Structure 1
């Protein structure tokens, strides 16, 4: 009886192992195929960073990144409404991709060597540099911030840049853009560092502040990002961005969302790839 019992359990163990191996050998579905199967694409965007990604008074997502994301959904799934916008903070963009909470990040994601090690960036669609805004433009040089407080967002290019290059500048960090700019308005720091494209727009609405340092460090680019290991989705995104450039769609997106904010101060070719 004991022998039969052991034989039965041995047989079951082999069977379970075979089933497990069969499941393990099943090829992993590329994110592109998964999106098409589900019929919806989840795109991570900012909810508090006008004019790039924000929620309007009616609860709808708006902004430059959102405008492009809708077109991507239309080209990918045939309908711009087959999209789920997922609000994301700057510091959580990588983790949202790794945890499969989103398929694509379109949240003003600056491409850096460090980030390229953990996510895949597609072809860039936007140009950017760091800028510094202060009251009446009183901070005109980085050296003027020595032993003073600079406000930044956690996990942004500004955060990494100043942490690495200027340890003598005290950084006051926040998760949300609304918190960051409110801190500046409340005089909790002498200046605020962020993407110059965002600062130009914000200073337009707050004329008592000026972006006296308009370009700092390297000129960077902003691109869609996806989780590593999805070559089909990456190839599709590269082709999509190139198509949008070729047909002038990025310039259209600029005119619809950014030009009303920037006015004639900035030309579209300074911001988007054309």
Structure 2
């Protein structure tokens, strides 16, 4: 199976996803509270994930800790709150968290409701399959494609493959389960 996964080229050229931080709370509020509340992913290795002991780790987790160190003088002055794709921006807008560092792609729709930092990571979109017969997008034109709910990839798939059946999933793990189901 993994040979097939590695063999499929990037989808749609390269969709550049720029997942920056989204900031909502005032610094004075954060300082008064004594800790930063950060929305993070816990199922997106290596950006944000749970290790074998259940602890949150990853690049975005380290960014959150460094931000707490820079703002509050203590890298442990941070409360990490795992969120789903759908919850990321809403958690900031609704004031549930101070900032989201959770693989968020900048879109014009999101920019209308939240402010974004400079990008810290560039990403692309790829497709994986268990079939060795997929050689081009035409081979997927009427297939089933799992896409993360709340992902900016959804619009690209709908545009490029309007005949494909979209299967919404909440995590990459769920996408793998769907892939193995066929």
| Counterpart-to-counterpart distance in 1, 2:102 and 2:135 | 28
RMSD (Å) for aligned C-alpha atoms: 1.8
How big is the shift at 1:138?
A: 4.0
Q: Provide the TM-score with structure 1 as the length reference.
A: 0.54
| Counterpart-to-counterpart distance in 1, 2:132 and 2:177 | 17
1:152 aligns to what?
147
Q: Residue 158 and residue 30 in structure 1: after superposition, are their counterparts in 2 closer, same or farther (change >3 A)?
A: closer
Contact 2:39 2:81 in 1 (8 A): yes
Counterpart of 1:96 (choices 69, 91, 104) is 91
5+ unaligned residues in a row in structure 2: which ranges? 1-23
Q: Whose helix proportion is higher, 1 or 2? A: 1
Q: When the two structures are aligned, how many residues end up with a matched partner?
A: 159
1:69 aligns to what?
64
1:120 aligns to what?
115
Counterpart of 2:47 (choices 52, 57, 61) is 52
Q: Residue 30 and residue 45 in structure 1: after superposition, are their counterparts in 2 closer, same or farther (change >3 A)?
A: closer
2:8 aligns to what?
none
| Counterpart-to-counterpart distance in 2, 1:122 and 1:95 | 17
| Counterpart-to-counterpart distance in 1, 2:25 and 2:64 | 20
Residue 135 of structure 1 aligns to a residue whose secondary structure is coil
| Counterpart-to-counterpart distance in 2, 1:99 and 1:84 | 17
Q: Provide the TM-score with structure 2 as the length reference.
A: 0.80
Contact 1:51 1:64 in 2 (8 A): yes
Q: Deviations over 1:7-40 (max 9, x none)?
A: xxxxxxxxxxxxxxxxxxxxxx952111111011
Summarize the alignment of residues 1-274 of structure 1 with structure 2, pairs less than 5 Å apart: 31-135=26-130, 138-187=133-182
Q: Deviations over 1:116-160 (max 9, x none)?
A: 122111111111222112226543322211111011110102112
Tell me which of the two structures has the higher relative contact order, counting C-alpha pairs closer than 8 angstroms and 6 or more residues apart. Answer: 2
5+ unaligned residues in a row in structure 1: which ranges? 1-28, 188-274
Superposed structure 1 runs of 4+ greater than 6 Å apart: none
Contact 2:25 2:99 in 1 (8 A): no
Q: Residue 138 and residue 114 in structure 1: after superposition, are their counterparts in 2 closer, same or farther (change >3 A)?
A: farther
Q: Residue 137 and residue 124 in structure 1: after superposition, are their counterparts in 2 closer, same or farther (change >3 A)?
A: farther
How big is the shift at 1:76?
A: 0.8
